[in-house]
């Protein structure tokens, strides 16, 4: 505490005197994939700049602060196409940028992190929600601002249990990531005392998401698909692949709410979130990007703000200093979620409240009241320290 | 209907007439309103304080309250019962609630613009200024008629503001715009803007009027602005999301609360250095719930009160040692506060429980809770 205080006092002086000097340039890279994914709902279709738009706003925010501190932030963006080597793009970015924000699939991220390990580049995973990146495959040079599947599932599970909708009908897609989300939902049910009364698989038999008379067909399929289920309170869908989830609300055989990948969805952020001062940031985002802010935008914004927070606290753009501060015990960042966000030091995952949204409004924010924890209530979401398999290296 | 009494009180009395949602009390509540108006009209003049007995007979409604031993003791103990008028901005209701600090009742609810937050009197006590952020203006409430009569060209999304000692210049934090707007209060025109950090919020002016302090929530700084040149002279980094700044009356220190950082930074305004910090610890409460916002300091600079947001408490801080001596349980998500001019009482706005807590400053006890509108935020008391 004393040391920290002394640092701040010293910094107050430095901050004032740094005004006149040439600003220190702090380079931030953004590495994403070029393949846009297709969604069932046209309005959920991600923009081409999904993610990087959030990083750009945070660069602007950091620069507003930076002008008082003699720091200037710049963003360099690269996209990898399918089949392209992400390592090559990452290495090119690392030439000028000590920090890289990534929106990459798990395997690509691991390749990049291993390739850049000796350079000291600090990576921020803003896109991948895979548990294994924080567990068996965790890396000491990767900080995760994206929540994990378990965090998302736990956030939803806590609310459903609070609502006393404890009998779940689980419908799982046939793709790998659907199955992973289903695993997380099963774990949440077991942790919080919900019961999965039945599981159904929705087989992806291919087919277009855009058709001329799709509604007629879906209206016949979905009631039949959900017919004959044992008594349940809520249908929980695991459909990250966007094959069927969006078709379920209002079409179940029994009149039941839908949650998970459709209906009530757990997300790190939503365009409708306006609490805790978020309205100002939402307004800044719309002004800059002419569209509303998504969860991926927020995860990238948070990553770049974490860098800005650390450079202003350490009064340095030095990657090692900044990395040490971010991983250290005094680090926290404000991200319009009503509480300070900190890192889980055992796997470098950012602790964060999760919003439950219906596409129009924020319905609730987890952790829910009454789910207690000895360290941080945010650690009731996802894998906790004692369960972690991560050994940072 | 919520109880109007503090949760610590043994037996909640029956609810008062007109209590509940602020809108339930209207201008037709005539006897009390007239009284309130006469008080405003005479607030600058020397006026013999009403005696406790007078208060009792003046109002039929009071008898029920007086039946409660606590308040009887209180009123009898407090010999000259000065009455003041408090104005509370209700962020969600788009109203300002008027409270009589004598009867502790709501005397009027004034409709204002969208999202009223920052609220203060003009120096001449003739107007109440309320920042209505979503209407991008500051409205002027005539303290005599208790209705909105004018508005100021504040710039986008005004939240908090500060005025110079003469009451001629108003400085407004515009959250959406990273600027502080300077307004001529007499002519009611905009004089200019000062560029500051991301999401400017807290505003205070030094007792000598020479230095304006603005805090920016995402930049995490207190900006020291020279009011003559309107230039930033220093930037002091504080903990995350600084929301409110308050000078000690002797000008020796500026206290800045950091909502997310969970601390109050104490800055030397001459050296522009953080010279100390107030930290908070409440047994059984997680650290994240402690979110300091509003600060009030007694005129003798001995005691500071800090609102701790969702911790639902006001911390009483010994200014000399910078240590918390007591935590007072108030309503939920306590935002801001104001002293009565005699400093007998401190009123706090409790955002989530939609009420105002009344603290007996000397006894350091919460003595009363008054229901106001939805999400009460700011508070100002007639000088």
Which residue in A has a C-alpha nearest to residue B261's C-alpha?
A340
Which residue in B has a C-alpha nearest to residue A10's C-alpha?
B273
Instruction: Say whether A68 and B235 touch across the interface (CB within 8 A).
Output: yes
Q: Which residues pair with B257 in a beta bridge?
A: B244, B264
How high is the mean pLDDT of chain A?
92
Q: Which residues pair with A366 in a beta bridge?
A: A354
Please give the pLDDT value at position A225: 94
> Percent of chain B beyond pLDDT 90?
68
What residues of chain B lie within 8 A of the CB of A338, using their CB?
310
Cis upstream peptide for A379 (omega within 30°): no
Residue A36 has pLDDT above 90, yes or no: no
The distance of B290 to chain A (nearest Cα, Å) reads 9
The number of C-alpha atoms within 13 Å of A60 and in the hemisphere containing its C-beta is 16
The distance of A280 to chain B (nearest Cα, Å) reads 5
Q: Are B33 and B27 in contact (CB under 8 A)?
A: yes
Burial profile B139-166: b = 16 or more Cβ within 10 angstroms, e = fewer: bbbebeebebeebbebbbbbbbbbbbee
Instruction: Say whether A332 and B198 touch across the interface (CB within 8 A).
Output: no
What residues of chain A lie within 8 A of the CB of B219, using their CB?
61, 64-65, 68, 312
What residues of chain A lie within 8 A of the CB of B276, using their CB?
5
pTM across the whole model:
0.79
Please give the pLDDT value at position A242: 93
> How far apart are the C-alpha atoms of B256 and B242, rounded to whole Å?
7
Residue A326 has pLDDT above 80, yes or no: yes
Which residue in B has a C-alpha nearest to residue A351's C-alpha?
B288
Average pLDDT estimate for A309-318: 94
Q: Which A positions 337-356 lie with beta carbon below 8 A of chain B?
A: 338-340
Residue B305 has pLDDT above 90, yes or no: yes
Q: Are B371 and B19 in contact (CB under 8 A)?
A: yes
What residues of chain A lie within 8 A of the CB of B197, using their CB?
64-65, 68
Instruction: Say whether B198 and A61 touch across the interface (CB within 8 A).
Output: yes
Inter-helix orientation angle A176-192/A149-162, to 10°: 40
The distance of A229 to chain B (nearest Cα, Å) reads 41
Instruction: Say whether B176 and A280 touch across the interface (CB within 8 A).
Output: yes
Higher-confidence position of B22 and A152: A152
Break chain A into its structural domains and give their ranges.
2-147+270-352, 150-266
Query: β-strands B303-307, B295-297: how paired?
Result: antiparallel
Higher-confidence position of B47 and A359: A359
E strand or H helix at B35: helix B30-41
Phi-psi region of A238 (alpha: psi -120 to 50; beta: other; left: phi over 0): beta
Instruction: Say whether B286 and A377 touch across the interface (CB within 8 A).
Output: yes
Residue B75 has pLDDT above 70, yes or no: no
The tens digit of pLDDT for each residue in B32-69 reads 434 433 333 333 334 444 444 444 334 444 444 444 55
Please give the pLDDT value at position B12: 39
* Count of helices and strands (H, E) across chain A: 10, 16
Size of interface A-B (CB pairs under 8 A): 91
Instruction: Say whether A16 and B277 touch across the interface (CB within 8 A).
Output: no
Higher-confidence position of B75 and B344: B344
Burial profile A308-329: b = 16 or more Cβ within 10 angstroms, e = fewer: bbbbbbbbbbebeebbebbbee
The distance of A211 to chain B (nearest Cα, Å) reads 42
Poorest-pLDDT segment among B65-74, B76-85, B294-303: B65-74
Name which of B99, B86, B85, B102 is nearest B50 in CA terms: B102
Instruction: Say whether B274 and A339 touch across the interface (CB within 8 A).
Output: no
> How far apart are the C-alpha atoms of A248 and A256, rounded to whole Å?
10
Higher-confidence position of A205 and B168: B168
Any B CB within 8 A of A304 CB: no
Higher-confidence position of B218 and B361: B361
Phi-psi region of A255 (alpha: psi -120 to 50; beta: other; left: phi over 0): beta
Please give the pLDDT value at position B40: 38
Name which of B172, B174, B163 is nearest B122 in CA terms: B163
What ipTM goes with this model? 0.73
Using CB atoms, pick whichever of B176, B260, B277 lies closest to residue A340.
B260
Task: Provide the 8-state DSSP code for A317.
Answer: -
Using CB atoms, pick whichever of B198, B236, B287 lies closest to residue A64.
B198
For residue B313 the two structure tokens come to: 């408490």
Res. B23 pLDDT band, cuts 50 70 90: very low
**Count of C-beta atoms within a 10 Å radius of residue A342:** 18
Using CB atoms, pick whichever of A12, A64, A338 lies closest to residue B237.
A12
Higher-confidence position of B230 and B7: B230
Using CB atoms, pick whichever of B176, B232, B240 lies closest to residue A340.
B240
Please indicate whether the domains covering A2-147+270-352 and A150-266 agree at the CATH topology level.
Answer: yes
Interface mutation target, options A2, A334, A353, A365, chain B, most CBs of B under 10 Å:
A334
Q: Which residues pair with A266 in a beta bridge?
A: A356
The distance of B43 to chain A (nearest Cα, Å) reads 36
Which residue in B has a C-alpha nearest to residue A308's C-alpha?
B219
The tens digit of pLDDT for each residue in B220-276 reads 999 999 999 999 999 999 999 999 999 999 999 999 999 999 999 999 999 999 999
Instruction: Say whether B217 and A16 touch across the interface (CB within 8 A).
Output: no
Higher-confidence position of A211 and A145: A145
Q: Name every residue whose Cβ is closer than 8 Å to that of residue A320 and which is 6 or more positions away in sequence.
A: A120
Average pLDDT estimate for A42-70: 94
Residue A196 has pLDDT above 70, yes or no: yes
The distance of B175 to chain A (nearest Cα, Å) reads 7
Please give the C-alpha separations between residue A196 and each of A167, A168, A243, in angstroms, as whole numbers: 6, 5, 22
- Burial of A117: CB neighbours in 10 Å, binned 0-12, 13-18, 19+: middle
Interface mutation target, options B243, B288, B292, chain A, most CBs of A under 10 Å:
B288
Please give the pLDDT value at position A303: 98
Helix, strand, coil: what percent of chain A each, to 5? Answer: 40, 20, 40
Alpha helices by DSSP H, listed for chain A, are 2-17, 52-69, 86-96, 106-116, 149-162, 176-192, 214-225, 278-289, 295-314, 319-327
Interface mutation target, options A340, A367, A370, A374, chain B, most CBs of B under 10 Å:
A340
Measured CA angle at B15 (ends B14, B19), to 5 deg: 170
> How far apart are the C-alpha atoms of A120 and A107, rounded to whole Å?
20
Please give the pLDDT value at position B313: 97
Indicate the fold that domain A2-147+270-352 takes in CATH: Rossmann fold (3.40.50)
Average pLDDT estimate for B68-75: 49
How high is the mean pLDDT of chain B?
83
Residue A91 has pLDDT above 60, yes or no: yes
Q: Are B96 and B128 in contact (CB under 8 A)?
A: yes
Higher-confidence position of B227 and B72: B227
Q: Are A55 and A296 in contact (CB under 8 A)?
A: no
The distance of A54 to chain B (nearest Cα, Å) reads 15
Please give the pLDDT value at position B39: 39
Please give the C-alpha separations between residue A172 and each of A155, A199, A203, B40, B155, in angstroms, as whole numbers: 18, 7, 9, 67, 51
The tens digit of pLDDT for each residue in B152-208 reads 988 888 889 999 988 999 999 987 778 999 999 999 999 999 999 888 999 999 999
Name which of A270, A337, A265 is nearest A305 in CA terms: A337
Average pLDDT estimate for A337-356: 96
Using CB atoms, pick whichever of A5, A64, A313 lies closest to residue B277.
A5
Instruction: Say whether B288 and A5 touch across the interface (CB within 8 A).
Output: no
Please give the pLDDT value at position A239: 97
Please give the pLDDT value at position A210: 66
What residues of chain A lie within 8 A of the CB of B287, using their CB?
376
The distance of A49 to chain B (nearest Cα, Å) reads 23
The number of C-alpha atoms within 13 Å of B246 and in the hemisphere containing its C-beta is 25
> How far apart are the C-alpha atoms of B303 and B281, rounded to whole Å?
18
Res. B81 pLDDT band, cuts 50 70 90: low
Please give the pLDDT value at position A207: 73
Please give the pLDDT value at position B156: 83
Instruction: Say whether A312 and B237 touch across the interface (CB within 8 A).
Output: yes
Q: DSSP letters along B211-243, please?
A: EEEEEETTTTEEEEEETTTTEEEEEEE-SSSEE
Q: Which residue has the tokens 């000097």?
A: A21
What residues of chain B lie within 8 A of the CB of A312, using their CB?
219-220, 237
What residues of chain A lie within 8 A of the CB of B218, using their CB?
61, 65, 281, 305, 334
Helix/strand/coil (H/E/C) assignment for every residue in A29-71 = EEEEECCCCCCCCHHHCCCCCCCHHHHHHHHHHHHHHHHHHCE
Any B CB within 8 A of A120 CB: no
The tens digit of pLDDT for each residue in A227-270 reads 999 999 999 999 999 999 999 999 999 999 999 999 999 999 99
The distance of A294 to chain B (nearest Cα, Å) reads 20
Using CB atoms, pick whichever of B240, B277, B286 lies closest to residue A334.
B240
E strand or H helix at B58: helix B52-58
Average pLDDT estimate for B357-374: 96
> How far apart are the C-alpha atoms of B117 and B131, rounded to whole Å?
6
The tens digit of pLDDT for each residue in A1-13 reads 455 544 444 444 4
Instruction: Say whether B310 and A338 touch across the interface (CB within 8 A).
Output: yes
Instruction: Say whether B288 and A340 touch across the interface (CB within 8 A).
Output: yes
Residue A200 has pLDDT above 90, yes or no: yes
Using CB atoms, pick whichever of A15, A280, A305 lies closest to residue B235.
A15
Using CB atoms, pick whichever of A64, A281, A305 lies closest to residue B178.
A64
What residues of chain A lie within 8 A of the CB of B236, using their CB?
12, 15-16
Any B CB within 8 A of A297 CB: no
Q: Are A184 and A194 in contact (CB under 8 A)?
A: no
User: For the domain bounded by A150-266, which CATH number is listed?
Assistant: 3.40.50.2300
Please give the pLDDT value at position A213: 64
């Amino acid at each position: 505490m004393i040391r920290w205080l002394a640092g701040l006092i010293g910094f107050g002086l430095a901050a004032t005197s740094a005004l006149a000097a040439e600003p220190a340039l702090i380079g931030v890279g953004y590495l994403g994939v070029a393949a846009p994914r297709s969604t069932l709902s046209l309005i959920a279709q991600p923009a081409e700049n999904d993610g990087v738009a959030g990083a750009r706003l945070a660069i602007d925010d950091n620069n507003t602060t930076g002008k008082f501190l003699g720091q200037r932030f710049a963003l360099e963006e690269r996209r990898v196409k399918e089949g392209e080597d992400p390592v090559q793009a990452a290495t090119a970015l690392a030439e000028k940028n000590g920090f890289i924000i990534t929106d990459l699939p798990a395997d690509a991220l691991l390749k990049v992190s291993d390739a850049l390990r000796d350079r000291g580049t600090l990576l921020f995973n803003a896109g991948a929600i895979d548990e294994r990146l924080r567990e068996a495959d965790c890396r000491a040079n990767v900080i995760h601002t994206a929540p994990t599947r378990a965090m998302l599932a736990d956030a939803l599970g806590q609310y459903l249990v609070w609502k006393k909708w404890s009998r779940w009908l689980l419908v799982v897609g046939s793709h790998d990531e659907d199955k992973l989300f289903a695993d997380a939902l099963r774990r949440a049910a077991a942790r919080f005392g919900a019961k999965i009364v039945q599981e159904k698989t929705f087989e992806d038999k291919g087919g277009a998401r855009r058709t001329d008379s799709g509604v007629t067909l879906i209206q016949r399929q979905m009631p039949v698909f959900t017919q004959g289920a044992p008594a349940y309170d809520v249908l929980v869908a695991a459909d990250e692949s966007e094959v069927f989830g969006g078709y379920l609300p209002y079409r179940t055989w029994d009149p039941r709410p839908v949650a998970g990948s459709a209906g009530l969805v757990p997300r790190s952020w939503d365009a409708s979130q306006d609490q805790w001062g978020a309205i100002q940031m939402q307004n800044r985002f719309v002004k800059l990007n002419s569209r509303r802010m998504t969860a991926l935008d927020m995860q990238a914004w948070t990553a770049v703000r974490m860098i800005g927070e650390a450079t202003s606290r350490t009064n340095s753009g030095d990657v090692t200093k900044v990395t040490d501060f971010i991983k250290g015990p005094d680090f926290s960042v404000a991200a319009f979620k009503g509480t300070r966000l900190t890192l889980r030091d055992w796997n470098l995952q950012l602790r964060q409240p999760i919003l439950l949204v219906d596409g129009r409004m924020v319905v609730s924010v987890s952790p829910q009241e009454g789910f207690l924890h000895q360290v941080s209530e945010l650690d009731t979401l996802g894998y906790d320290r004692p369960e972690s398999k991560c050994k940072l290296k | 209907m919520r109880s109007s009494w503090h949760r610590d009180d043994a037996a909640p009395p029956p609810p008062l007439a007109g209590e509940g949602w602020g809108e339930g009390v209207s201008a037709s509540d005539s006897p009390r309103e007239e009284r309130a108006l006469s008080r405003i009209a005479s607030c600058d003049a020397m006026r013999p304080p009403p005696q406790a007995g007078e208060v009792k007979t003046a109002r039929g409604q009071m008898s029920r309250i007086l039946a409660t031993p606590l308040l009887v003791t209180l009123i009898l103990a407090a010999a000259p019962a000065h009455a003041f008028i408090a104005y509370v901005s209700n962020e969600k209701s788009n109203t300002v609630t008027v409270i009589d600090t004598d009867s502790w009742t709501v005397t009027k609810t004034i409709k204002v613009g969208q999202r009223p937050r920052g609220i203060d009197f003009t120096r001449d006590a003739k107007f109440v200024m309320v920042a209505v952020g979503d209407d991008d203006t500051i409205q002027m409430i005539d303290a005599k008629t208790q209705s909105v009569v004018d508005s100021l060209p504040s710039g986008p999304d005004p939240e908090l503001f500060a005025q110079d000692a003469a009451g001629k210049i108003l400085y407004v934090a515009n959250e959406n715009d990273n600027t502080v707007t300077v307004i001529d209060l007499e002519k009611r025109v905009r004089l200019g803007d000062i560029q500051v950090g991301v999401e400017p919020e807290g505003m205070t002016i030094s007792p000598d009027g020479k230095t304006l302090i603005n805090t920016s929530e995402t930049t995490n700084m207190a900006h020291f602005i020279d009011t003559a040149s309107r230039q930033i002279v220093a930037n002091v980094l504080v903990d995350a999301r600084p929301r409110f700044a308050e000078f000690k009356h002797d000008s020796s220190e500026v206290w800045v609360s950091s909502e997310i950082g969970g601390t109050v930074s104490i800055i030397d305004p001459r050296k522009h250095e953080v010279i100390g910090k107030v930290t908070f610890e409440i047994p059984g409460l997680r650290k994240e719930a402690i979110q300091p916002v509003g600060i009030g300091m007694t005129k003798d600079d001995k005691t500071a009160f800090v609102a701790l947001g969702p911790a639902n408490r006001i911390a009483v801080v010994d200014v000399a040692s910078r240590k918390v001596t007591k935590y007072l349980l108030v309503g939920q998500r306590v935002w801001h506060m104001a002293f009565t001019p005699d400093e007998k009482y401190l009123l706090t706005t409790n955002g989530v429980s939609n009420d105002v807590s009344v603290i007996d400053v000397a006894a350091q006890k919460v003595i009363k809770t008054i229901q106001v509108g939805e999400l009460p935020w700011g508070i100002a008391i007639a000088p």
